[in-house]
Amino acid sequence: MNEKWKNAFNEIHAEPELKQSTMDYLSDRVYSRSGREKKKIFTVPRFAAAAVCLAAVLLFGGYRLYFIPTAFISVDINPSLELGINRFDRIVSVEGYNDDGQELADSLNIRFMNYQDALEQLLADDTIEELLSKDGVMSLTVAGDNDTQNSEILEHVESCVDGRQNIHCHSGDSEEMHSAHESGMSFGKYEAFLKLQELDPSITADDVKDLTMHEIFDLIEEYSEDHNNGGTSSSGIGSQNGQSNSPGDNTCTRTGSGTGSGSGTGSGTNSGTDSTGHEGHHGPHHDR
């Protein structure tokens, strides 16, 4: 027993037997217990540190499994946005790629929903329904690193839009998605731009980034016709200002690049209306 305890007890006036029994009790209860606690204190931090490390690994691994998208659906009509889907088929990100797209993304409450339910809710949105009712054209492009997941998503997207008018779905190359984002466009619109640029290399991303998908598909059709006729288009890029060349029924195609299907659907479904010609293209015009 240390000197502090001894001095304290020497100042207490009590029977020697009582003093001794009390000192023995304290020695047994305090000092022996203190020794046991020191052993626990020595081992508990090591266990706690290991537990923290394990928890960090599990949390980080769980974060990557759940919150990192493994596939994307690019939704383009006039609003352009992309839905990020995790390996469990849940929406984990909704990002707009123009002002209308960001406004639509902010209004949707679809994070953590199954992507099929989320897509149904998006298609039922008042803004989307109004645009489609006015001959708007929607493009749904699926991209990701897992071919199996991509194929399954595309099948479900096709089923979701079956019977709806003016909706086209494609599969694409995920590597081009990074280039699309660098150009400030969603992946689906960028794929359509690449197809248009194949027909006219002078067209730039800035020329089309503010156009609707209807306008882009119309231009793809027009440039394709000029190319097939052996001529070149001099109409420029612009909206048709009231002229409607609706692509008609929805077409869902599996391609290595989503752009290839854009021109195919445009020329196949509009042949009945092309006899009126294309008017109203008077140079670059960005009204969206």
DSSP string, 82-119: EEEE-TTSBEEEEEESSHHHHHHHHH---TTSBHHHHH
Residue length of the chain: 288
Q: What is the pLDDT of residues 120-174, one digit of tens each?
A: 999 999 999 999 999 899 999 999 989 999 999 999 999 999 988 899 998 988 8
CB 170 within 8 A of CB 253: yes
Backbone angles phi, psi at 120, to 5 degrees: -60, -45
Q: How far is CA 50 from CA 41, 57, 63, in A?
A: 15, 11, 20
pLDDT for the residue 22: 55
Q: Nearest to residue 105, comparing CAs of 133, 76, 130?
A: 76
Q: Nearest to residue 156, comparing CAs of 82, 79, 71, 266?
A: 71
Q: Hey, how many other C-beta atoms are within 10 angstroms of the C-beta on 211?
A: 25
Least confident of 22-26, 81-85, 251-255: 251-255
For residue 75, the surrounding DSSP H or E stretch is strand 71-76
More confident residue, 34 or 209: 209
- Tokens, residue 241: 């200002």
Q: What is the mean pLDDT of residues 90-115?
A: 95
- Tokens, residue 273: 């209306």
- Tokens, residue 17: 């037997």
pLDDT for the residue 105: 94
More confident residue, 246 or 237: 237
- 253: pLDDT confidence band, cut at 50, 70 and 90? very low
DSSP β-ladder status, 80-85 and 91-96: antiparallel
- Percent of the chain at pLDDT > 70 equals 58
Asked whether residue 251 carries a pLDDT value surpassing 90, the answer given is no
Q: Which residues pair with 139 in a beta bridge?
A: 76, 168
pLDDT for the residue 176: 86
CB 104 within 8 A of CB 125: yes
Task: State the pTM of this model.
Answer: 0.62
Q: What is the pLDDT of residues 36-73, one digit of tens each?
A: 555 554 455 666 766 666 566 566 667 778 999 999 99
Q: Nearest to residue 166, comparing CAs of 250, 245, 265, 244?
A: 250
Average pLDDT across the chain, whole number: 74
